[in-house]
Structure 1
Amino acid sequence: MNIGVDIGGTNLRAGIELGGAITRQHKVLLENKDSLSSTLSQLMDLIRPLTKYPVKGIGIGVPSVVNVDKGIVYNVMNIPSWEEVALRDIVQKEFNLPVSINNDVNCFILGEHRYGLAKKYNSVVGMAIGTGLGSGIIIDNNLYSGNNCGAGEIGMLPYRDSILENYVCNRFFEESLGTDAFEAHEAALRGDPHAIEVWKEFGKHLGAVVKTVMYTYDPEAIVFGGSITKASRFFKASMLDSLKDFAYPNSIKHLTLLLSENENIALLGAAALLGK
């Protein structure tokens, strides 16, 4: 049993992996983000009740670049006080347990590979679509983080007048409809024709992401996660249609596209950072 922790810009979540599921889960709203000491105190208070159980270690997913070897996190998204934090050493000192830290989307795809939809695949890419566009990569059954934990940042690649991420995240709906993806989904469900067209356009951009992943990694499967995937009925068809001009159609034929189903998959992946 390991503790899995998911650090987000809004919430902190933690739970214990047991038999491929999360138990004893706790969640708190992250407050006072400009204070390093306050946010660290919240994190310790979240983890502490779980350490009374016979856990072997603590795995933590963070929305940032991570020095995996040293457990240092840099410029954590939406937490301004976390510019450079030696998080592994801080948590190990507090609880006297082994600690492993990685990027949150890496934890997402590791969870899918160990416990979720991607268990049967040797190579798979995970894409988390929400506030931004993040990705994680499994190659030959191993998590690939790159030299600086920055591998797979497909969203940062140039695209049209900007970068891919700006066309495949919540920001796209803010600029296209003046609202967020949640409201855009609600509008589409009501039959709003403009919202439905915007979702179709979103699907075309997501297709460009899929093609980029295929040209760079050619995985067996891609797993999509994040809040925006709940609206898949409105963008799936246009996404698939946009793949028809892919240079290697046989590769697309053999590609499996999956939608994540487990809301705790990132916690499971964080716990899996420490192994069995």
Structure 2
Amino acid sequence: MSNRTIVGVDIGGTSINIGLVEAGQLVKKLKVATPAQEAKDVVIKALLDGIESIKSGHEVQGIGIGVPGLLDTERGIVYDLVNIPSWKELHLAKEVSKYFNTEVFIGNDANCFVVGEKMYGRGDRYNSIAGVTLGTGLGMGFVFNEQLHSGIMSAAGEVGAIPYMLHNYEHYCSGKFFSREFGLDGDVVFQEALAGHAVSKGIFRQFGLHLGHLFKHLLHIVAPEAIFIGGSIKDAYPFFSDAMWEVLHTFPYKRVIDNLIVEKSEMNDVAIMGAAAVCDMNLNLKEKSDVSGIVI
């Protein structure tokens, strides 16, 4: 963990969440309404004003921004952001770095999560980790040997689109599973499971079986040392973990399973922390290789 002071930003369709992270600790945060339906420059101004407010009186070494969309992380470009229609091809890192004269790095939400776990969470103990976000959708990110593997256009980890059973993995391993298969809200199922309802516990068991198959798929391809689970469904982990492991134990290589770690993330404010961590990790890489981020 570094001693840097970094601004972490999570951009959503409803709100922009911004935090000041010092030595891996969130010391201040701010929420700004996203003027999502306004012109591009209006949204950018809201973002810049929020960052200006959070960093006031502090010298920061960089800014990390998490964006839920298709990205060119090397050039800092956001493409076709669904929740902000005016952002069709936005050189976001350039816009922000030009204003603040500091280095800016961007990443998608799943990548921010896994980097946050590596830099500021329990992932620092491992050389290879995967981070899985289980929420409205399904996302995944990878860190190997201190570096994020994001692939072309940050498309690595888009496992939700992989065909599985009658649909794909996102259908069975996200909040869509509860609504599409049972017509229920996932949080309602969770609350009923907490109250001891057998049917709701059974639904989570099915969810865990599907997740186990996803993780087996993952092990065949990259075999990380540890998998960290985040997203809104992570708190239900006790209700689906046994079924998940039941499937994992059918993996053909027993020694792999015996050494695999699967944990629920304990990070707070993970979206902000993850965005800051993306910046922190890239600054580490710059120090080692003298590769710059986006600075104007």
> Is the TM-score greater than 0.5?
yes
- Post-superposition CA distance 1:169-202 (Å, at most 9, x none): 1111112332221111112222333222111100
Is 1:2 equivalent to 2:3 in the alignment? no
Is 1:69 equivalent to 2:77 in the alignment? no
Shift of 1:77: 4.5
| 1:68-147 superposed matches below 5 A | 68-147=73-152
Shift of 1:94: 2.4
Percent identity between the two aligned chains? 38
TM-score using structure 1 length: 0.94
Decide which of 8, 12, 19 is 2:16's aligned counterpart.
12
Determine the structure 1 residue equivalent to 2:250. 245
Determine the structure 2 residue equivalent to 1:186. 191
**Which amino acid is the alignment partner of residue 68 of structure 2?**
P
**1:131 aligned counterpart, secondary structure:** coil
Decide which of 46, 53, 57 is 2:62's aligned counterpart.
57
Determine the structure 2 residue equivalent to 1:25. 29
Cα 1:144–1:32 shift into 2, 3 Å: closer
| 1:225-264 superposed matches below 5 A | 225-264=230-269
**Which amino acid is the alignment partner of residue 51 of structure 1?**
K
**2:106 aligned counterpart, secondary structure:** strand
Cα separation, 1, equivalents of 2:203 and 2:39: 39
Cα separation, 1, equivalents of 2:218 and 2:212: 10
**Which amino acid is the alignment partner of residue 122 of structure 1?**
N
Contact 2:66 2:109 in 1 (8 A): yes
TM-score using structure 2 length: 0.88
Cα separation, 2, equivalents of 1:156 and 1:48: 38
Cα separation, 1, equivalents of 2:78 and 2:178: 30
Cα separation, 2, equivalents of 1:211 and 1:163: 15
- Post-superposition CA distance 1:50-80 (Å, at most 9, x none): 2321112211011112101110012334333
Shift of 1:35: 4.0
Shift of 1:160: 0.9
Cα separation, 1, equivalents of 2:64 and 2:7: 6
Is 1:44 equivalent to 2:64 in the alignment? no
Cα separation, 2, equivalents of 1:180 and 1:31: 28
**2:75 aligned counterpart, secondary structure:** coil
| Runs of at least 5 residues in structure 2 that lack an aligned partner in the other structure | 285-296
Is 1:175 equivalent to 2:180 in the alignment? yes
**Which amino acid is the alignment partner of residue 210 of structure 2?**
H
Cα separation, 2, equivalents of 1:232 and 1:103: 24
| Runs of at least 5 residues in structure 1 that lack an aligned partner in the other structure | none
Cα separation, 2, equivalents of 1:247 and 1:10: 45
Aligned residues: 276
Cα separation, 1, equivalents of 2:245 and 2:86: 41
Shift of 1:34: 5.5
Shift of 1:264: 2.3
Cα 1:147–1:255 shift into 2, 3 Å: same
Cα separation, 1, equivalents of 2:200 and 2:74: 45
Cα 1:146–1:58 shift into 2, 3 Å: same
Contact 2:64 2:275 in 1 (8 A): yes
Question: Structure 1 residue runs of 4+, over 4 Å off?
Answer: none
